[in-house]
């Protein structure tokens, strides 16, 4: 928290916006806990107001939050419910007599938990609760509830809250739990952009008149779907947050593997083993694909957010599915990549001085926080299934519909490919377009197979069939996501025309490097789904050729591995991993770190009490 206060103070002195942004990036790279604090505040708390608050509420709260005068948190999850939001038990009961809401935690399982900054520091929370008006359940809505006195830090009357205690990582952030005992908040504590309760206790669904504008005629039904949209930006944040973390791990692992020789000087670098290349090089490619996609998703999201309610609502299904797919796919891949970095470093990854161990601890939240991956892939697959059906029903109409992102633009052509009955041939293994087409074809082939297996479910057995198809559902979501990311890295490589919302094409001199990365990325993803390729008609020798091309692509990226990690631009003081020092003198720095740590040198304090009674018991002559 001291870190945070200092950052807030320093930022107030900045005049330069770019400097301010760079400063924040560096701080986030330096400290996972700091980045989570910033994230909870700016991505979750502020966003709750932006998405769910009326103009008045936004004007009142956003500046206070950005100035950290109100420290806020985002209380959705309960002890018993998170993946299943419909189970949320916390209630907000409108009391028409007093014109206020009573926020209450009716059971142990309704305890809000894991809430970032609720443990010690938050003065307010955005709280998701079931709105009860005149005994009627009006669905889930967001309320702002004061938690602590901003002056003393003491809990407000009726609020019981505390820290969740020791965690796998990010112990510098106070995740907390909260219980409410009939806590009264005024009527304007309800974030009322999409639904409101009139003073007399009438519930109105639909856009708040305050925000209404003739161009934006939102139906109450459409507005009701919005409570879940709050997590979309959190999921899109993955496109920035995961590379921020994993590029550090990759820099460390690649530098170690380049510096590590098996045996005396002159012997091969560990990085020359094809097995180590196969572990680390595709990981570099995957991170570049994610970074390439960040620009497009954020440009799209900002346009939706600022384009008024209609733009927001229209774009929502597509953006929701895409962000869920990205969140799940990229965080699963990231877990895998971190583990590879760990393994590439042999025993030295076990030392906390080489950073990887702490990344693994910190990372543990990624596959579940912001929505559990196993649940998210279902949302993506459901959307892809529906869109593929639409595309099959009327490809021309589908192709001409303007979608907010380009995530489903591939469907008509991929459906046409799938209709040919044989997998698309790869005549040129260096053609990104051909490899990309295979990926898109496989996505559609899997979607169609999934659709068929669901269609054959017995009456009343749909839920069962859906749950049983989880492996295929997960594959569909991942393939859909990868074909989207592949698009982004092809654009970066200058291999595909960008649209207005895409991020910049790489400078010509760097394009050949991005082509290599894009090729490796595509081959790696195809290889991950080799089983499916074979099941959907690829011949054995094509898969064998895929392996050969993959090894070749790894070797090509390996040639540029050192400049590639240097280009991440992570200085030693951010990496905090002596073995990975930029100047190459890692071993000396590593041993020096060990020797400077407290208690490196003994004898330990416990020697006389615990060791000596065993090794030199009193009353025995010396050996």
Ligand X SMILES: Cc1cc2nc3c(=O)[nH]c(=O)nc-3n(C[C@H](O)[C@H](O)[C@H](O)COP(=O)(O)OP(=O)(O)OC[C@H]3O[C@@H](n4cnc5c(N)ncnc54)[C@H](O)[C@@H]3O)c2cc1C
Q: Which does residue 174 touch among its own copies, ligand X, none (CB within 5 to 8 A, set by kind)? A: its own copies
Q: Is 347 in the site for ligand X (CB under 6 A)?
A: yes
State which residue, 184 or 382, has the beta carbon closest to ligand X: 382
> Helix or strand or coil: residue 3?
helix
Residues facing residue 129 across a β-bridge: 141
Q: Which does residue 75 touch among its own copies, ligand X, none (CB within 5 to 8 A, set by kind)? A: ligand X
What CA–CA distances, in Å, run from 605 to 599, 600, 622? 9, 12, 22
Contacts of 561 (CB under 8 A, 6+ apart): 254, 258, 271, 280, 281, 284
Least distance in angstroms from the C-beta of 314 to ligand X: 27
Q: Which does residue 115 touch among its own copies, ligand X, none (CB within 5 to 8 A, set by kind)? A: ligand X
Dist. CA 278–CA 258, nearest whole Å: 14
Query: Do residues 176 and 117 make contact, with C-beta atoms less than 8 angstroms apart?
Result: yes
Least distance in angstroms from the C-beta of 243 to ligand X: 20
In the list 140, 159, 223, 270, the residue contacting ligand X (rule: CB under 6 A) is 270
Least distance in angstroms from the C-beta of 84 to ligand X: 6
Contacts of 92 (CB under 8 A, 6+ apart): 101, 102, 103, 104, 127, 129, 130, 131, 132, 141, 143, 190
Q: Is residue 361 annotated as involved in ligand binding? A: no
State which residue, 93 or 171, has the beta carbon closest to its own copies: 171
Q: Is 348 in the site for ligand X (CB under 6 A)?
A: yes
Q: Is 37 in the site for ligand X (CB under 6 A)?
A: no
Query: Could you tell me the sign of the dihedral formed by the alpha carbons of 285, 290, 291, 295, in that order?
Result: positive
State which residue, 96 or 551, has the beta carbon closest to its own copies: 551
Residue 154, exposed/middle/buried by CB under 10 A (0-12, 13-18, 19+)? exposed
Distance of CA 229 to the CA centre of its chain: 15
Least distance in angstroms from the C-beta of 75 to ligand X: 6
Contacting ligand X within 39-68 (CB under 6 A): 40
Dist. CA 524–CA 513, nearest whole Å: 16
Closest Cα to residue 362, out of 594, 75, 36? 36
Tokens standing for residue 418: 């799938």
Dist. CA 406–CA 401, nearest whole Å: 11
- Is the backbone peptide bond immediately before 603 cis, with ω within 30 degrees of 0? yes
State which residue, 116 or 578, has the beta carbon closest to ligand X: 116
Q: How many residues bind ligand X (CB under 6 A)?
A: 31
Least distance in angstroms from the C-beta of 118 to ligand X: 8
Query: Could you tell me the sign of the dihedral formed by the alpha carbons of 498, 503, 509, 510, in that order?
Result: negative
In the list 42, 372, 472, 552, the residue contacting ligand X (rule: CB under 6 A) is 372
Query: Do residues 517 and 493 make contact, with C-beta atoms less than 8 angstroms apart?
Result: yes
> Helix or strand or coil: residue 137?
strand
> Helix or strand or coil: residue 148?
strand
Q: Is 75 in the site for ligand X (CB under 6 A)?
A: yes
Binding mask 480-519 for ligand X (x = CB under 6 A): ----------------------------------------
Q: Which does residue 51 touch among ligand X, its own copies, none (CB within 5 to 8 A, set by kind)? A: none
Q: Is 344 in the site for ligand X (CB under 6 A)?
A: yes
Residue matched to tokens 């698009």: 487
Q: Is 111 in the site for ligand X (CB under 6 A)?
A: no
> Helix or strand or coil: residue 310?
helix
Q: Is 392 in the site for ligand X (CB under 6 A)?
A: no
Q: Is 158 in the site for ligand X (CB under 6 A)?
A: no
Q: What is the DSSP letter of 78?
A: B
Least distance in angstroms from the C-beta of 336 to ligand X: 15
Q: Which does residue 602 touch among its own copies, ligand X, none (CB within 5 to 8 A, set by kind)? A: its own copies
Q: Is 522 in the site for ligand X (CB under 6 A)?
A: no
Window of 94-102, 132-140, 329-337, 370-378 that interacts with ligand X by CB under 6 A: 370-378
Least distance in angstroms from the C-beta of 493 to its own copies: 27
Q: Is 375 in the site for ligand X (CB under 6 A)?
A: yes
Q: Is residue 116 annotated as involved in ligand binding? A: yes
Q: Is 363 in the site for ligand X (CB under 6 A)?
A: no
Residues at the annotated binding site?
77, 116
Residues at the annotated binding site for FAD?
77, 116
């Amino acid at each position: 928290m001291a870190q945070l206060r200092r950052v807030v103070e320093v930022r107030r002195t900045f005049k330069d916006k770019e400097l301010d942004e760079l400063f924040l990036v560096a701080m986030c790279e330096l400290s996972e806990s700091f980045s989570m604090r910033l994230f909870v505040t700016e991505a979750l708390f502020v966003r709750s107001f932006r998405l769910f608050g009326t103009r008045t509420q936004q004007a009142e709260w956003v500046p206070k939050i950005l100035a950290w005068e109100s420290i806020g948190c985002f209380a959705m999850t309960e002890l018993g419910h998170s993946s299943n939001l419909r189970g949320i038990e916390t209630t907000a009961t409108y009391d028409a007599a007093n014109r206020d809401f009573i926020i209450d935690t009716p059971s142990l399982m309704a305890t809000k938990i894991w809430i970032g900054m609720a443990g010690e520091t938050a003065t307010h929370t955005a709280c998701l609760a079931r709105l009860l008006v005149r005994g009627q359940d009006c669905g889930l809505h967001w309320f702002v509830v004061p938690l602590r006195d901003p002056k003393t830090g003491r809990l407000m009357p009726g609020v019981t809250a505390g820290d969740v205690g020791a965690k796998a990582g990010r112990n510098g952030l106070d995740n907390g739990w909260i219980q409410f005992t009939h806590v009264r908040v005024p009527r304007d504590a309800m974030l009322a952009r999409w639904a409101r309760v009139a003073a007399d206790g009438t519930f109105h669904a639909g856009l708040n008149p305050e925000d209404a504008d003739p161009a934006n005629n939102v139906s109450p039904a459409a507005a009701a779907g919005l409570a879940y949209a709050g997590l979309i930006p959190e999921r899109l944040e993955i496109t920035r947050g995961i590379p921020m973390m994993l590029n550090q791990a990759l820099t460390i692992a690649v530098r170690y593997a380049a510096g590590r020789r098996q045996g005396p000087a002159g012997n091969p670098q560990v990085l020359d083993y094809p097995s180590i290349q196969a572990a680390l090089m595709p990981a570099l490619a995957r991170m570049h694909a994610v970074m390439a996609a960040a620009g497009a998703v954020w440009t799209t999201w900002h346009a939706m957010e600022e384009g008024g309610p209609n733009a927001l609502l229209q774009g929502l299904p597509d953006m929701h599915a895409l962000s869920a797919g990205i969140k799940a796919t990229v965080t699963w891949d990231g877990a895998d990549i971190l583990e590879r970095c760990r393994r590439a470093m042999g025993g030295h990854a076990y030392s906390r001085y080489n950073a990887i161990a702490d990344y693994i601890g910190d990372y543990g939240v990624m596959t579940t926080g912001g929505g559990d991956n196993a649940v998210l892939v279902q949302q993506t697959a459901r959307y892809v299934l529906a869109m593929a059906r639409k595309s099959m029903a009327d490809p021309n109409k589908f192709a001409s519909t303007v979608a907010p992102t380009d995530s489903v633009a591939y469907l008509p052509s991929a459906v046409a490919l799938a209709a040919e009955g044989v997998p698309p041939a790869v005549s040129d293994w260096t053609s990104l377009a051909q490899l990309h087409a295979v990926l898109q074809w496989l996505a559609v082939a899997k979607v169609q197979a999934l659709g068929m297996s669901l269609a054959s479910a017995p009456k009343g057995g749909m839920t069962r069939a859906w749950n049983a198809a989880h492996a295929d559902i997960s594959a569909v979501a991942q393939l859909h996501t990868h074909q989207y990311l592949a698009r982004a890295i092809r654009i970066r490589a200058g291999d595909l025309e960008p649209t207005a919302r895409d991020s910049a094409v790489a400078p010509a001199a760097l394009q050949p490097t991005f082509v290599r990365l894009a090729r490796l990325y595509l081959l790696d993803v195809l290889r991950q789904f080799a089983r499916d390729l074979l099941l959907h008609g690829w011949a054995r020798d094509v898969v064998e050729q895929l392996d050969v091309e993959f090894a070749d692509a790894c070797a090509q990226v390996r040639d540029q591995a050192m400049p590639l990690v240097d280009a991440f631009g992570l200085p030693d003081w951010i990496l905090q991993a002596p073995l990975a020092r930029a100047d190459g003198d890692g071993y000396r720095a590593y041993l020096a770190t060990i020797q400077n740590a407290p208690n490196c040198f003994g004898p330990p304090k416990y020697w006389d009490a615990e060791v000596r009674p065993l090794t030199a018991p009193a009353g025995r002559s010396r050996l």
